[in-house]
């Protein structure tokens, strides 16, 4: 790979090769790298101008740089770009003595004789006093892929477009060349993980499958599918192969065998097939212990969770999965292996426990601004998106508003919203956390009645 000076080094090396050839064939010839410019198209001093007018991705190297980053953006290897460089050479001189044509022939011969830029040729260019001031740190000579120079197949129409669009000057005898491939390497280094020390494959014939997650209705004790789950819900998971395959007694026996000093017994225990231990319910990032597990049903009472488990639980639209640690471990430092069920969508709704209206300001036009402090039953993470919905309790043209939560510096159960230009009145209040909305209270007639906030 090469650094950022690779393109300039290729141009300088071609310039040096051509200069050495043409000055022997046409006395006084110079080789420049300026933009072609001869407004009058008249004879000038013998000159060859080398101008790079385009750089494009090299087809052979275009896909060699795929997946240089992980999904989150971290580099896994240094990035690179493979390029083709396109040059237009123009030839100036006394037309009556055919100097442009003689220079074209001399240039063709030089590049046909030396179509590959060898490390020696590149290093001579870098060390030359003419280029060393700005190319001395070029490492193109170390590039494994050799840069080759070949004539570029360009018809009259393409050549005409270049002169009319790029240069907008009278045409001068010219010839196109292509240099490829130049490989430029990114400066930022990547990260490589340690190699896999050992590979093991396990087969689980009875894969646990979740078919339905339902909410037990406390009123009529019927299972309600696709219910709105809250932090005090009693969840029932239906499916197949949901039970653990080892009892506590069997698990203790295996552990005792592994702890035995008798190497023969220990090795024999390690060779036993892996089995599932008691399952955990994974909701988002939280791992929870269910209260009851059978072959086709798992029951989880969120209201009976420990404080530590509840503090990890988040209100959001997320996934639910059953995970089963595999036992026994084959060696002490072996990472924990798990078997997972299929994942299903799970919406855990926040519950509003308290609402306070603060810093009320009258805008003197029937509208108010204020701070609304909402306390919920679950901790809200700093990165979670929270919205406040206000719906006026009116039957005639009710107003409705949406406000985003104020920024937070830590996880919290209290969220503050700055509301502006809200019409005076009584409002039903809801919040939405990562897509999961809090539920409204209803009366016996099925009418929404809480929570309510009065503005003004």
Residues 173 and 224 in one domain: no
Q: Evaluate if residue 361 carries a pLDDT over 60.
A: yes
- How high is the pLDDT of residue 188? 67
Residues 289 and 227 in one domain: yes
Work out the percent of the chain whose per-residue pLDDT is above 70: 79
Q: Is residue 287 part of a domain?
A: yes
Stronger pLDDT, 79 or 202, i.e. the higher one: 79
pLDDT one-digit tens code per residue, 212-230:
998 886 443 334 344 689 9
How confident is the prediction for the chain on average, in pLDDT? 83
Q: Is residue 378 part of a domain?
A: yes
Confidence of residue 354 (pLDDT cuts 50, 70, 90): very high
- How high is the pLDDT of residue 225? 41
Confidence of residue 443 (pLDDT cuts 50, 70, 90): confident
Stronger pLDDT, 40 or 438, i.e. the higher one: 438
Q: Give the range among 40-44, 67-71, 109-113, 134-138 with minimum mean pLDDT.
A: 40-44
**Of the residues 332, 348, 364, which one is the last residue of a structural domain?**
348
Q: Could you give the residue ranges of the DSSP H alpha helices within 272-352? A: 307-312
- How high is the pLDDT of residue 224? 39
Residues 326 and 366 in one domain: no
Stronger pLDDT, 9 or 277, i.e. the higher one: 9
Residues 263 and 249 in one domain: yes
285: number of Cβ within 10 Å: 10
Nearest Cα residue to 3 out of 226, 182, 213? 182
Q: Is residue 201 part of a domain?
A: no
Residues 341 and 283 in one domain: yes
Nearest Cα residue to 374 out of 282, 451, 262? 451
Work out the percent of the chain whose per-residue pLDDT is above 90: 47
| pTM score | 0.54
Q: Evaluate if residue 355 carries a pLDDT over 70.
A: yes
- Could you list the residue range(s) of the whole structural domain that residue 448 is in? 352-455
- Alpha carbon distance 432, 317 (integer Å): 10
Q: Is residue 102 part of a domain?
A: yes
- How high is the pLDDT of residue 273? 53
| 348-365 mean pLDDT | 90
Cα 144 to the center of its chain, rounded Å:
31
| 5-26 mean pLDDT | 93
Stronger pLDDT, 216 or 261, i.e. the higher one: 216
| Angle at which helices 263-270 and 248-258 cross, to 10° | 130
- How high is the pLDDT of residue 352? 94
Residues 60 and 171 in one domain: yes
Stronger pLDDT, 186 or 308, i.e. the higher one: 308
Residues 277 and 406 in one domain: no
Residues 356 and 344 in one domain: no
Confidence of residue 373 (pLDDT cuts 50, 70, 90): very high
- In the block, tokens 């009645």 appear at 449
pLDDT one-digit tens code per residue, 313-336:
999 999 999 988 776 655 566 666
Q: Is residue 204 part of a domain?
A: no
| 75-99 mean pLDDT | 84
Q: What is the CATH number of the domain that holds 404?
A: 2.60.40
- How high is the pLDDT of residue 375? 95
H or E element, residue 105: helix 99-113
Stronger pLDDT, 237 or 42, i.e. the higher one: 237
Bridge partner list, 68: none
Q: Give the range among 7-11, 20-24, 101-105, 241-245 with minimum mean pLDDT.
A: 241-245
DSSP readout, 181-246? EEEEE-SS----PPPPS-------SS--EEEEEEEE-TTT--EEET--B-TT-EEEEEEES-S-SS
Do β-strands 30-32 and 47-57 pair in parallel, antiparallel, or remain unpaired? parallel
Residues 35 and 167 in one domain: yes
* Cα end-to-end span (Å), the chain: 69
Residues 158 and 246 in one domain: no
Dihedral in degrees, nearest 10, Cα atoms 279, 281, 282, 284: 180
Q: Is residue 199 part of a domain?
A: no
Torsion sign (Cα): 35, 41, 44, 49: positive
| 170-188 mean pLDDT | 85
Nearest Cα residue to 428 out of 455, 394, 454, 391? 391
**Of the residues 297, 322, 348, which one is the last residue of a structural domain?**
348
pLDDT one-digit tens code per residue, 376-428:
999 999 989 999 999 998 878 889 999 999 988 899 999 999 999 999 899 99
- How high is the pLDDT of residue 453? 93
- How high is the pLDDT of residue 172? 84
Residues 169 and 294 in one domain: no
Stronger pLDDT, 242 or 117, i.e. the higher one: 117
Nearest Cα residue to 124 out of 111, 140, 110, 109? 140
Residues 132 and 216 in one domain: no
Nearest Cα residue to 245 out of 196, 214, 206, 198? 206
Domain count, the chain: 3
- Alpha carbon distance 275, 432 (integer Å): 41
**Of the residues 348, 370, 401, which one is the last residue of a structural domain?**
348
């Amino acid at each position: 790979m090469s650094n950022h000076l690779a393109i300039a080094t290729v141009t300088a090396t071609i310039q040096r090769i051509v200069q050495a050839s043409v000055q022997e064939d046409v006395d006084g010839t110079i080789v420049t790298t300026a933009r072609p410019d001869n407004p009058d198209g008249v004879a000038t001093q013998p000159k060859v101008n080398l101008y790079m007018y385009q750089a494009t991705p090299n087809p052979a190297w275009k896909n060699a740089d795929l997946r240089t980053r992980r999904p989150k953006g971290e580099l896994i290897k240094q990035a690179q770009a493979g390029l083709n460089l396109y040059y237009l050479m123009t030839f100036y001189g006394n037309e009556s003595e055919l100097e442009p044509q003689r220079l074209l022939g001399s240039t063709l011969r030089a590049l046909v004789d030396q179509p590959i830029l060898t490390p020696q040729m590149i290093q001579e260019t870098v060390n030359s006093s003419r280029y060393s001031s700005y190319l001395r740190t070029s490492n193109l000579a170390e590039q494994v892929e050799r840069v080759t120079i070949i004539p570029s197949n360009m018809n009259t129409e393409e050549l005409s477009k270049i002169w009319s669009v790029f240069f907008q000057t009278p045409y001068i005898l010219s010839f196109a060349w292509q240099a490829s491939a130049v490989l430029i390497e990114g400066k930022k280094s990547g990260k490589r993980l340690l190699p896999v020390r050992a590979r093991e494959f396990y087969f689980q014939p009875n894969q646990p499958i979740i078919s339905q997650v339902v909410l037990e209705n406390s009123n009529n004790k019927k299972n309600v599918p696709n219910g709105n789950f809250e932090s005090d819900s009693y969840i029932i998971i239906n499916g197949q192969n949901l039970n653990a395959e080892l009892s506590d007694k069997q698990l203790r026996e295996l552990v005792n065998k592994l702890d035995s000093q008798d190497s023969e017994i220990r090795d024999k225990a390690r060779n036993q097939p892996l089995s599932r231990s008691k399952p955990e319910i994974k909701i988002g990032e939280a791992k929870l212990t269910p209260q009851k597990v059978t072959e086709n049903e798992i029951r989880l009472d969120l209201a009976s969770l420990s404080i530590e488990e509840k503090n990890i639980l988040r209100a959001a639209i997320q996934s639910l999965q059953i995970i089963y640690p595999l036992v026994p471990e084959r060696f002490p430092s072996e990472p924990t292996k798990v078997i997972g069920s299929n994942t299903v969508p799970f919406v855990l709704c926040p519950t509003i426990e308290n609402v306070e209206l603060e810093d009320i300001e009258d805008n003197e036009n029937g509208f108010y601004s204020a701070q609304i402090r909402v306390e919920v039953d679950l901790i809200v993470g700093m990165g979670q998106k929270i919205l406040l919905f206000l719906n006026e309790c009116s039957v005639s043209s009710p107003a409705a508003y949406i406000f985003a939560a104020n920024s937070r510096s830590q996880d919290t159960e209290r969220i503050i919203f700055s509301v502006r230009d809200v019409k005076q009145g009584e409002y039903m209040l809801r919040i939405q956390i990562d897509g999961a909305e809090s539920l409204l209270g209803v009366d016996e007639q099925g009418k929404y009645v809480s929570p309510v906030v009065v503005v003004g």
